[in-house]
Amino acid sequence: MNTSETAMEGKISTRASLTALISFHIVACCVSLAYLSRGYGSYHIYYDPALLGTAIATIVPFAILSYLFLLVPFSFGYFLGFYFYTMVLGYLWLNCFSRFEYNHWLSGASAAASIIAFLIPSLFVTSPIRRRFTIGDATFDRALTLILALGVITILIAASYSFKMVSLDEMYDFRDKINMPSVLIYGIGVVSNALLPFAFACFVERRSYWRAGLTLVVLLLFYPITLNKVAFFTPTWLLAMAVLTRLLDSRITVVVSLFVPLLVGIVLYAVLGLHDTRYLEIVNLRMIATPSNAMDIYNDFFFSHPLTSFCQITFVKVLVSCPYSHQLGEVMQKAYALGNFNASLFSTEGIASVGSLLAPIPVLACGLVIALANRFSSGLPPRFILISGSILPHILLNVPMTTTLLSHGGAVLFLLWYLTPRTAFASQSGMSAPAAVGERLEERLA
């Protein structure tokens, strides 16, 4: 069997595996939401067997859209796009059973149009961009050491303001009491969500495992400072992604990263029922269902309240009058008593800013931003992109795009992808010496 035949068989095998995984994932999402309705009705998560036919008739056509994930290669847009696809899938299911009084048909159609508008650029725009500025391998090595040192310095400074070793159940009792300078808060977001995951991915790809381990230790120390679930789970998540990408294709890893945790929660519920809901609440509810639920709640609120016209963005709020004096999360907390209910770009830049009818337009604009990130990362190993960017999808499921770019390090990570020399991982990826020289020559000519 020649090489081309072997490659073709590999592609067919990967596509078959993806088809099966995504199909099971879609079913698991619906089953999980049906289970959650039994114990979390206070979160406005409902299920009515009499409406199951309507829900199936809604989900089946939407499931066809997942065929796009079989056609395109891995990119950061693929990673984020699948997570957003899952979020909209969950919303369309919840929309069939929702007891809120708003235009459910319009909002459902808007959600479907929005995810299509997002996926088209984020999946299909991946061509490399002309890199007018590059850095050498030696400078890149020093930059990784500097990032690690910056992480330690940030920990030491932040710990002087707040450092409490408490459990996940107790963290809410102390988190509101944390008081730090705004500059330091921004610094923590950039370092913990972008710089250190980037450094960890570099160390893993270059097989510098002791430095990768040290990076995870530094990341773990952000939890007692921020008392944030993302900070608590970040080291474990990065390590899991590093292991999965060693064993599986990058696209399969993306699907497995949501499907397996979701499936574990379903199995635990089937075995234990509501006797032990800790895992179900953290993973199935908070991690996966809440972003979908936010779309339902934001649709309900802004169906009968003034739109923000993007005034939730700080610099826009200075330029235009805003009907809300507080952050959107606080507005939702006051209206629905579900905590500080922040949400994704679909709910904020979309529904809250322009309403359901026009929501696909700003969502398309956000998709173009992700397309630019794809172009910035073009030429880098898929495994490296997946690991270094693995925290941002979770943040973007619960935080607006603008906030993620500025406060959580999204823009910094995209810039790092652009600056990373394409020869940095040549020896680890099996690139031949002539090919590596060719890469360097191409960078100099760019």
Structural domain tally of the chain?
1
Total length of the chain: 446
With bands split at pLDDT 50, 70 and 90, how would you rate the model's confidence at 7? low
- pLDDT on residue 65: 97
* Mean pLDDT value of segment 88-115: 97
Q: How confident is the model at residue 9 (pLDDT cuts 50, 70, 90)?
A: low
pLDDT band at 430 (very low <50, low <70, confident <90, very high): very low
Q: Which structural domain range is residue 297 located in?
A: 3-131+247-445
Is the per-residue pLDDT at 435 higher than 90?
no
148-173, pLDDT tens digit by residue?
999 999 999 999 998 888 887 778 77
171: in domain: no
Q: Is residue 397 part of a domain?
A: yes
Alpha helices in 160-220 (DSSP H): 171-175, 182-190, 196-205, 209-220
Residue 321's pLDDT is: 83
Calculate the average pLDDT of the chain: 90
Q: Is residue 5 pLDDT above 70, yes or no? A: no
18-39 residue pLDDT tens: 999 999 999 999 999 999 999 8
Rounded Cα–Cα distance for residues 334 and 337 (Å): 6
Do 171 and 130 form a contact (C-beta atoms < 8 A)? no
Residue 222 lies in a domain: no
At 323-369, the pLDDT tens digits run 998 889 899 999 998 888 889 999 999 999 999 999 999 999 999 99
301 has a pLDDT exceeding 60:
yes
Question: Which pLDDT score, from 0 to 100, does residue 12 have?
Answer: 63
| Residues in Cβ contact with 406 at an 8 Å cutoff, skipping those fewer than 6 apart | 186
Average of per-residue pLDDT across 80-102: 97
**Quick check: 446 pLDDT over 50?**
no
Average pLDDT over residues 88-105: 97
Residue among 169, 282, 240 nearest 390 (CA): 240
CB 298 within 8 A of CB 353: no
In a domain, 271, yes or no: yes
Query: How much is the average pLDDT of 261-265?
Result: 96
Model confidence at 436, pLDDT cuts 50, 70, 90, reads: very low
**Domain membership flag for residue 145:** no
| End-to-end CA, the chain | 39
Which pLDDT band, with edges at 50, 70 and 90, does 313 fall under? confident
| Mean of pLDDT values over 298-319 | 89
Pick the more confident residue, 254 or 446: 254
pLDDT digits (tens, 9 = 90+) for 397-425: 999 999 999 999 999 999 999 999 988 88
At 166 the pLDDT is 84
Distances (CA, A) of 81 to 86, 119, 200: 9, 6, 23
pLDDT grade for 429, boundaries at 50, 70 and 90: very low
| Residue carrying the six token digits 């936010």 | 294
Q: Within a 13 Å sphere around the CA of 95, how many CA atoms are in the beta-carbon half? A: 28
- Whether 179 is in a domain gets the answer no
DSSP-assigned letters across all residues of 314-368: HHHHTTS--S-SS-HHHHHHHHH-SSS----TIIIIIIIHH-TTTTHHHHHHHHH
Residues 6+ away with beta carbon under 8 Å from 79:
254, 385, 386, 389, 390, 393
pLDDT over threshold 60, residue 444:
no
Residue 236 lies in a domain: no
CA distance 321 to 332: 20
Query: Greater confidence, 361 or 316?
Result: 361
Give tens-digit pLDDT for 204-233: 999 999 999 999 999 999 999 998 889 999
- Name the nearest CA neighbour of 92 among 69, 118, 115, 121: 115
Q: Are 308 and 351 in contact (CB under 8 A)?
A: no
Q: Is residue 178 in a domain? A: no
